[in-house]
Amino acid sequence: MIELLKGFPSNVVAIACHGDVSRQDYDDVLIPAVEKALQSNNKVRMLYEVAPDFAGYDAGAAWEDFKTGMEHFSKWDRIAVVTDVEWIGASVKVFSVFMPSTIRVYPLADAAQARLWITQAA
pLDDT of residue 67: 62
Q: How far apart are CA 121 and CA 56, in angstroms?
A: 33
Q: Is the pLDDT of residue 122 over 70?
A: no
pLDDT in tens, 29-82: 998 999 999 999 999 999 999 999 999 888 777 666 666 766 666 788 999 999
Report pLDDT for 82: 98
Residue 72 phi, psi (nearest 5): -115, 30
Using an 8 Å Cβ cutoff, are 65 and 57 in contact?
yes
Per-residue pLDDT at 100 exceeds 90: no
pLDDT at 33: 95
pLDDT higher than 70, residue 99: yes
116 vs 9: CA distance, rounded Å: 12
Burial class (CB within 10 angstroms; exposed 0-12, middle 13-18, buried 19+) of 102: middle
Number of structural domains in the chain: 1
Q: How are the residues of the chain apportioned to helix, strand and coil, as percentages rounded to the nearest 5? A: 45, 30, 20
Q: What pLDDT shows up at residue 69?
A: 62
Kindly report the pTM of this predicted structure.
0.88
Domain that holds residue 102: 2-119
Residue 18, pLDDT above cutoff 90? yes
Q: Considering the chain, what is the average pLDDT of its residues?
A: 89
CATH of the domain at 61: 3.30.750.24
